[in-house]
Amino acid sequence: MLEKLSSSLRGTLEKISKALFVDKKLINELVKDIQKALIDADVNIQLVLHLSDKIRARMIDENVPSNVSKKDFLIKVVYEELIALMGGAEKKLEIKKKPTVIMLVGLFGSGKTTTAGKLAKYYKKYGFRVAVLQTDTYRPAAFEQLEQLATRVGVDFFGIKNEKNPQKIFKTFLEKLSKYDLVIVDTAGRDALSKDLIEEISALAKLIKPDERLLVISGDIGQTAQHQADEFHKSCNVSGVIATKMDGTAKAGGALTACAATGTPIVFIGVGEKIADIEPFRPKNFVGRLLGMGDIEALLEKTQEAISQDKAEDLSKRVLKGEFNLIDLYEQMSALKNMGPLTKVMDMIPGMSKLKLPQEVLESQEGQLEKWKHAMDSMTQEELEDPVVITPARIDRIAHGSGTPSADIRQLIKQYKKSKKLIKMLKGGGQGVSEKNLQKMMKRFGVNS
């Protein structure tokens, strides 16, 4: 799916990583590449221009966090803007109320009936009791088509063969359907969004009161999906879109971005004719996959302003166990640099939240960080994990390897020892930190409590 777009975008990212530095020329080149890739995928030109402007503006207006290279930052901006183009946050269908009712609407051949079967299988897999209801009295053999799918999937099917009134069908099964967790309602389509179709859908929706009215759109119509999504949204108030046939069309990007632009979230995508060929649509994962960046999350974590909760917890646990090494020190320092994080770490250590580190301490460490990072890049794993092994001879080796003065490396080790001592004192407090230890520590930092 979207192989061409994917390979073009990957090529562009490779260009960034190979570039010596990020300048205006590179950004312009990158923006041009992305424009071409998106236009080839049938993305609307206005959307493409908007995305280009956003990337350029953000590279000018935003400060690159100091622990992130400009290249990584550029990749992050591209990634985030592509996600926004695909609709931003994920909309998850909630199956909480019993029964949750999903009504599928859309034009002829868009994939409603197939999708009803796919959704039934998808949710059955998660342990929901699912039923499908056929209200399409228009297409010949719609009854049999859904009945067969339901049998294959192993869910219950409801429908009345040869009945012409969709509302009557629903009323007939109203009570039986209330026993299911999820009811998926298939409806009739038309060639175009005619008055006839709008009236039928509106009346049926009024009666059924579905929790979700999902518009099924064929992805191969590309950016013209916008018109369809708009029209359906206006007349039937759809709550989400399912884009089908995303396999085997070069225009899938156009359909996705067009639907996203209408403000209606895309909830699922159909990626093949088989019953299992459906995926929840998560813009973040989708773009990540498109760009081929398995470790994009790691990159983003690095660029996050604050240390993540998990990391902070992990660090504080290790600190309390006394397993504090140079990597931890470095992480702690970078966290400090981005302000606030160490306070977060401290909040998790009993008693520590009372302590406020003086500004000078934070600032003096800041300037060292970059040098220390270089030095640490030249250290072995053993040295990082157990800095006691760093002898003067090793300091010289690290200094040579990293181009950092030996004095800075000695200072790093001194800082490490100081931090370790501090932590020992903390541990000395038994369960938490005693008031006495806290005062001692504050004195050490020149703070008067």
Q: Which is nearer to ligand GTP, 114 or 135 (CB)?
A: 114
Please, what is the end-to-end C-alpha distance for the chain in angstroms?
A: 63
Judged by DSSP in three states, 184 sits in: strand
Question: Residues 189, 222, 240, 341: which binds ligand GTP (CB under 6 A)?
Answer: 189
Question: Residues 87, 99, 254, 270: which binds ligand GTP (CB under 6 A)?
Answer: 270
| Least CB distance to ligand GTP at residue 194 (A) | 13
Q: Which is nearer to Mg ion, 78 or 130 (CB)?
A: 130
CB 372 within 8 A of CB 403: no
CA angle 212, 133, 199 (to 5 degrees): 60
* DSSP letter, residue 215: E
Question: Residues 110, 228, 332, 334: which binds ligand GTP (CB under 6 A)?
Answer: 110
Residues 193-232 close enough to bind ligand GTP by CB under 6 A: 216
* Residue ranges that bind Mg ion, judged by CB under 5 A: 112-113
The two structure tokens encoding residue 332: 């702690």
What percent of the chain is helix, strand and coil (3-state, nearest 5)? 60, 10, 30
CA atoms within 13 A on the CB side of 258: 28
Residue 156, φ and ψ in degrees, nearest 5: -80, 145
Q: Is 111 in the site for ligand GTP (CB under 6 A)?
A: yes
* DSSP letter, residue 135: -
| Least CB distance to Mg ion at residue 155 (A) | 17
Q: Is 142 in the site for ligand GTP (CB under 6 A)?
A: yes
Question: Residues 50, 67, 69, 109: which binds ligand GTP (CB under 6 A)?
Answer: 109
> Which partner in Mg ion, ligand GTP, none is near 154 (CB below 5 to 8 A by kind)?
none
Q: Is 284 in the site for ligand GTP (CB under 6 A)?
A: no
Q: Which residue(s) pair with 182 in the sheet?
A: 100, 130
| Least CB distance to Mg ion at residue 134 (A) | 9
Judged by DSSP in three states, 248 sits in: coil
Q: Which is nearer to ligand GTP, 203 or 388 (CB)?
A: 203
CB 261 within 8 A of CB 104: no
Q: Is 135 in the site for ligand GTP (CB under 6 A)?
A: no
CB 242 within 8 A of CB 229: no
Q: Which is nearer to ligand GTP, 136 or 331 (CB)?
A: 136
Residues 243-262 close enough to bind ligand GTP by CB under 6 A: 244-245, 247-248
Residues contributing to the site for ligand GTP (CB under 6 A): 106, 108-114, 136, 139, 142, 189, 216, 244-245, 247-248, 270-273, 277
